[in-house]
Chain A
Amino acid sequence: MAESPSSLAYPPQTSSEAVIQFSDVRIGFAEGEILRGVSFSAQPKETLVLLGETGSGKTLTLKIAAGLLRPDSGTVDVLGECVSRMSEHELLLLRRKVGFVFQEGALFDSLTVGENVAYRLHEDHVNEEEIEPRVREVLQFVELGNTMGQLPSELSGGMRRRVAIARAVVNRPAIVFYDSPTAGLDPITSQTIITLILRLRDVYGVTALLATQRLQDGFALANFHFDSATRCVRRDSTREKSSAVVTRFLVLRDGKIYFEGSPEELLAANDRYLQRFLI
């Protein structure tokens, strides 16, 4: 499959302004405040790896960024629009420019794989003749070209996640939010998913916010890149790293950003809590 001059080709992202901006975001529920003043930003083509224990608010952060939840206070800007103040109708329009990969895939179980992936294109009123080739192409991208007619229940967990990625990127979003895409998967399938995320980042320049509990996912994104010419994943050399796409880590703890920095800074951090992630 052609990697770039295809229908999957993304519009260029040239702006250097933050595409995701959280400013003092707070949200709480009956059991208490979960996010207590979270602030961070992501630049175009950047990959932010959101680390944290279970219940630390990683999924909440993603859902707030996608406008699926409204924060109690603070502001969230995505693609230059203030998500936290938009009406639901305005949010629906904005969400068509971003992709969201849910932890369990959240595929529509009564639709086939092809219909799941085509869903967004139908919603965007893309020409019927254009839909099938695009669905085939994006399914081939996730190496599931032969599953078009299958139902999600007939797929394995890893395959469902790949279909979820295909569905999230079929309309070429500028940003993709990944909610623990490798959770509960075996190492080999996890590697396949991470390779897909690498390809999306390195071939199409997608900005990503990835929530995970697995540090190795973050380091894989930071230390490897997808080489379009050889179609292989390669480890970045020191020289390459200076020009490579930026991967940063955010660690959530007690509802706040506990650590923000590069993989090298995380490795060098002399902090007992952070070191527990590194074990």
Chain B
Amino acid sequence: MAETPLHITQHQADSPETPSVLEVLLDAAKTNVLKVQEYSKLSFRSLTNLATSPRYMQDALSQMDDIGVGSLPIVLLSGFFIGAVMVLQTGTQFERFGQSSLTGDVVAIALVRELGPSITGLLVAGRCASGIASELGSMLVTEQVDAMRAMGTDPSRKLVSPRVLATLITLPLLTTISVFIGLVGGMVASVFSLRLDATTFWERAIAVLQFSDIMQGFSKSVVFGFILATVGCYQGLNVRGGTQGVGRATTQAVVVSSVLIIVADTFLTKIALFLADKVF
């Protein structure tokens, strides 16, 4: 090492070896497998933490307020217009066959089984997964997470579990509200656009729904809530590269959670349809 800043070291720098394509691919695969492993561990711990003390219920309530109440306006607005647009799209097709009264059936099934949970999940992922990632990421880069650990607090208990619990509880509730408002939007559209009777719309919408449909929608919203909260927390707690890294983590949180929600939706639909045949 140089004795003063003016001294120049005699040590010749080793020329870095260029890795082969295979090595690069293997490294990338290992990195991604490690990420999946770390994500799985964090997700598992977020649930097991709830079984033992200390539990941060005050933080969970505060997160419920932020995630649940805070997301209500966008869920209400989008739910209403999705219900309405569904009626407009399907109603015109049914009219061709003189079966416009079936609109209520289709809208109810689509909203309860599919559109309610997935649209709510995607909207809340856009709003909250990004918020969670940026909040935790900022805490990480400003050493607040380390400060928490230094004071004997487990960040997975204090930061992750309350957010996961809050989302697990609030997303099904938001989905329920979204579905209801979607049906209201559908009813309004069917009354004013298709000249359908509002009572007929509601009666058909309620009559067509079965317990398995409700369970399908409910289970999806629980899984989507778990995905968006854990992905947001994982991305936030794995920020690298300061404030720029926080921005990247925020984007990643929305992208990854949205893709995972859509992928999970496919598998959950298949499982739910299978179970509906066998169990219900």
Q: Which of A68, A95, A108, A273 touches B3 (beta carbons < 8 Å)?
A: A273
Which B residues lie within 8 Å of A273 (CB)? 3
Q: Which of A66, A92, A99, A108 touches B154 (beta carbons < 8 Å)?
A: A92
Pair B149/A272 contact, Cβ less than 8 Å: no
User: Chain B residue with minimal CB distance to A98?
Assistant: B150
Which B residues lie within 8 Å of A103 (CB)? 143
With the chains together, A119 CA to B142 CA distance in Å?
Answer: 17
Pair A88/B154 contact, Cβ less than 8 Å: yes
Question: Nearest chain B CB to A94's CB is how many angstroms away?
Answer: 8
With the chains together, A161 CA to B172 CA distance in Å?
Answer: 44
User: Chain A residue with minimal CB distance to B143?
Assistant: A106
Which A residues lie within 8 Å of B146 (CB)? 63, 68, 102, 106
With the chains together, A157 CA to B60 CA distance in Å?
Answer: 32
Interface residues of B in 23-37 (CB under 8 A from A): none
Pair A66/B143 contact, Cβ less than 8 Å: no
With the chains together, A102 CA to B4 CA distance in Å?
Answer: 30
Which B residues lie within 8 Å of A36 (CB)? none
Interface size counted on chain B using CB atoms at 8 A: 17
Q: Which of A66, A100, A106, A254 touches B1 (beta carbons < 8 Å)?
A: A254
With the chains together, A88 CA to B147 CA distance in Å?
Answer: 15
Pair A120/B142 contact, Cβ less than 8 Å: no
* Known contacts A254-B1, A272-B3, A273-B3, A104 near B142 by CB under 8 Å: yes
The interface bits of chain A over 80-124 (1 if a CB of B lies within 8 angstroms of the residue's CB, else 0) are 000000001100111110111011101111000000000110010
Pair B153/A92 contact, Cβ less than 8 Å: yes
Q: Which of A63, A120, A253 touches B151 (beta carbons < 8 Å)?
A: A120
Pair B147/A123 contact, Cβ less than 8 Å: no
Pair B143/A92 contact, Cβ less than 8 Å: no
Pair A119/B151 contact, Cβ less than 8 Å: yes
Which B residues lie within 8 Å of A167 (CB)? 151
Which A residues lie within 8 Å of B54 (CB)? 123
The interface bits of chain B over 135-146 (1 if a CB of A lies within 8 angstroms of the residue's CB, else 0) are 000010011101
Pair A108/B153 contact, Cβ less than 8 Å: no
Which B residues lie within 8 Å of A272 (CB)? 3-4
Pair A68/B144 contact, Cβ less than 8 Å: no
Pair A66/B150 contact, Cβ less than 8 Å: yes
User: Chain A residue with minimal CB distance to B157?
Assistant: A92
Question: Is B152's beta carbon under 8 Å from chain A?
Answer: yes
Pair B151/A108 contact, Cβ less than 8 Å: no
Question: Nearest chain B CB to A271's CB is how many angstroms away?
Answer: 10
Question: Nearest chain B CB to A234's CB is how many angstroms away?
Answer: 32
Pair A104/B153 contact, Cβ less than 8 Å: no
User: Chain A residue with minimal CB distance to B54?
Assistant: A123
Which A residues lie within 8 Å of B142 (CB)? 104, 106, 109
With the chains together, A276 CA to B80 CA distance in Å?
Answer: 71
The interface bits of chain A over 252-279 (1 if a CB of B lies within 8 angstroms of the residue's CB, else 0) are 0110000000000000000011001000
With the chains together, A94 CA to B149 CA distance in Å?
Answer: 11
Pair A95/B151 contact, Cβ less than 8 Å: yes
Pair A123/B144 contact, Cβ less than 8 Å: no
* Known contacts A88-B154, A272-B3, A273-B3, A95 near B144 by CB under 8 Å: no
* Known contacts A254-B1, A272-B3, A108 near B150 by CB under 8 Å: no
* Known contacts A254-B1, A273-B3, A93 near B143 by CB under 8 Å: no
Which B residues lie within 8 Å of A100 (CB)? 147, 150-151
Pair A68/B151 contact, Cβ less than 8 Å: no
Which B residues lie within 8 Å of A68 (CB)? 146, 149-150
Question: Nearest chain A CB to B71's CB is how many angstroms away?
Answer: 20
Which A residues lie within 8 Å of B148 (CB)? 108
* Known contacts A106-B143, A106-B147, A109-B142, A93 near B152 by CB under 8 Å: yes
Question: Nearest chain A CB to B55's CB is how many angstroms away?
Answer: 13
With the chains together, A26 CA to B89 CA distance in Å?
Answer: 67
Q: Which of B4, B144, B149 touches A108 (beta carbons < 8 Å)?
A: B144
Pair A102/B154 contact, Cβ less than 8 Å: no
Which A residues lie within 8 Å of B4 (CB)? 272, 276
Pair A106/B152 contact, Cβ less than 8 Å: no
Pair B149/A92 contact, Cβ less than 8 Å: yes
With the chains together, A95 CA to B151 CA distance in Å?
Answer: 6
Question: Nearest chain A CB to B143's CB is how many angstroms away?
Answer: 4
* Known contacts A254-B1, A272-B3, A273-B3, A123 near B152 by CB under 8 Å: yes
Question: Nearest chain B CB to A106's CB is how many angstroms away?
Answer: 4
With the chains together, A79 CA to B166 CA distance in Å?
Answer: 39
Interface residues of B in 42-78 (CB under 8 A from A): 54
With the chains together, A109 CA to B146 CA distance in Å?
Answer: 14
Interface residues of B in 90-148 (CB under 8 A from A): 139, 142-144, 146-148
Which B residues lie within 8 Å of A92 (CB)? 149, 152-154
Pair B143/A102 contact, Cβ less than 8 Å: yes
User: Chain A residue with minimal CB distance to B3?
Assistant: A272
Which 7 pairs show the lowest CB-CB distances between chains A and B?
Answer: A96-B152, A100-B150, A106-B147, A106-B143, A95-B152, A92-B152, A102-B143
Besides the contacts A102-B143, A106-B146, what 8 more A-B pairs have beta carbons closer than 8 Å? Answer: A95-B152, A96-B152, A100-B147, A102-B147, A102-B150, A106-B142, A119-B151, A120-B151
